[in-house]
């Protein structure tokens, strides 16, 4: 239990750091305001740096004072519980300077919208990420989890990644990162600030047409406009069936627990409804899904969403890249050949 005196001293230190660096500091926010599921408890502090350099300095100052923090982009891949979260949220949403195009290269900051980047690249006649245009969230979140869709993954086009280290912006080669299915080798405590991508020339109209085709498939198979975090579970690598298909075959579409429901349109989406929806509703429903899939298929589903607990400091529970990462969390990937099971291909 943290004493009142310790909390007061920590809050004073946070205020001093924010003032020193000129960072916007906010109190009284809730995860229900900052995440796409629109559920989650109170947050002690939200700090919003405006530049990559400011973000790197901020992380360094917080860690020097041993103040726990977590980064957050658009919050489209996070389920934070209903408790009070006694740590700093470092919002990267303001790290959104216009991308810089140079030939086939594009340099972009972590807070820039991933769909917007896909559109910008297409207009420059650059291909390689148009399949990601429907993934909600920021570039940083996409990098952290190696977001992918329609046969493309962002990790395949990354030349360098900019990270915060010892108060500075440091560039590391993309080849040093292990880019796996919805997972990378970025470690706990590493804040992603931006990246340089190398795309390849293509016809702008062809690229736009592919984005429109992908959009049509998403609208046909996913709950458009609903309060969701995208696909809730990863596809099991050893299974020929996608997770959505397995859940659908169990007859769980429309299953409800409180204000959370399995989407009638895509069974790997949990959506929240109403003002009384709580994070515990979504988690209870998710655990019920996992139990039934385990019982029927012998498969332990792995969460694709990030579960954030108010009962432990960031990273204190399970180590590097486990349940409480610090990269930039918010982008949800989709692998249509197994998740879009409603398509004719899987019927």
Q: What's the pLDDT at 84?
A: 97
Which DSSP category does 175 fall into? G
User: Out of 74-78, 210-214, 223-227, 340-344, which region has the weakest mean confidence (pLDDT)?
Assistant: 340-344
Q: Which residues are catalytic?
A: 182, 231, 304
CB count within 10 Å of CB 254 equals 10
| 3-state class (DSSP) for residue 285 | helix
44: left (phi over 0), alpha (psi -120 to 50) or beta: alpha
Q: What is the pLDDT of residues 58-106, one digit of tens each?
A: 999 999 999 999 999 999 999 999 999 999 999 999 999 999 999 999 9
**Mean pLDDT across the chain, nearest whole number?**
90
pLDDT band at 220 (very low <50, low <70, confident <90, very high): confident
pLDDT band at 329 (very low <50, low <70, confident <90, very high): low
pLDDT band at 108 (very low <50, low <70, confident <90, very high): very high
Q: For the chain, how many helices (H) and strands (E)?
A: 9, 21
pLDDT band at 342 (very low <50, low <70, confident <90, very high): very low
Say what percent of the chain tops pLDDT 70.
Answer: 90
Domain spans of the chain, in order of start: 1-231+305-347
Determine contact, residues 257/276, Cβ cutoff 8 Å: no
Determine contact, residues 254/260, Cβ cutoff 8 Å: no
| Euclidean distance between CA atoms 132 and 211, whole angstroms | 8
Is CATH 3.30.465.10 the right assignment for the domain spanning 1-231+305-347? yes
């Amino acid at each position: 239990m943290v004493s009142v005196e310790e909390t007061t001293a920590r809050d004073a230190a946070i205020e001093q750091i924010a003032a020193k660096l000129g960072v916007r500091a906010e109190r009284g926010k809730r995860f229900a305001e900052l995440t796409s599921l629109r559920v989650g408890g109170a947050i002690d502090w939200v700090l919003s740096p405006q530049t990559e350099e400011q973000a790197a300095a901020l992380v360094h100052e917080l860690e020097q004072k041993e103040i726990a923090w977590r980064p957050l982009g658009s919050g489209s891949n996070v389920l934070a519980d209903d408790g009070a979260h006694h740590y700093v949220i470092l919002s990267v949403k303001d790290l959104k300077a216009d991308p810089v195009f140079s030939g086939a290269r594009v340099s972009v900051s972590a807070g820039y919208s991933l769909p917007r980047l896909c559109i910008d690249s297409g207009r420059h006649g650059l291909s390689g990420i148009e399949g990601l245009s429907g993934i909600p969230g920021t570039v940083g979140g996409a990098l952290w989890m190696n977001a992918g869709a329609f046969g493309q993954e962002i990790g395949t086009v990354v030349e360098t990644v900019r990270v915060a280290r010892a108060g500075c912006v440091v560039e590391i080669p993309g080849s040093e990162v292990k880019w796996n299915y919805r997972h990378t080798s970025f470690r706990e405590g590493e804040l992603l600030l931006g990246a340089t991508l190398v795309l390849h020339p293509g016809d702008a109209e062809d690229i736009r047409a592919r984005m429109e085709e992908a959009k049509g498939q998403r609208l046909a198979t996913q709950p458009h406009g609903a309060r969701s975090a995208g696909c809730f579970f990863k596809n099991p690598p050893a299974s020929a069936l996608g997770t959505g298909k397995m859940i659908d075959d169990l007859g769980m579409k429309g299953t409800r627990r409180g204000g959370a429901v399995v989407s009638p349109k895509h069974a790997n989406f949990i959506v929240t409804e109403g003002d009384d929806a709580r994070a515990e509703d979504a988690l209870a429903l998710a655990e019920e899904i996992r139990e039934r899939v385990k019982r029927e298929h012998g498969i332990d589903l792995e969460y694709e969403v990030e579960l954030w607990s108010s009962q432990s400091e960031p990273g204190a529970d399970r180590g590097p890249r486990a349940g409480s990462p610090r990269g930039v969390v918010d982008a949800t990937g989709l692998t249509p050949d197994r998740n879009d099971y409603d398509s004719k291909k899987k019927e």
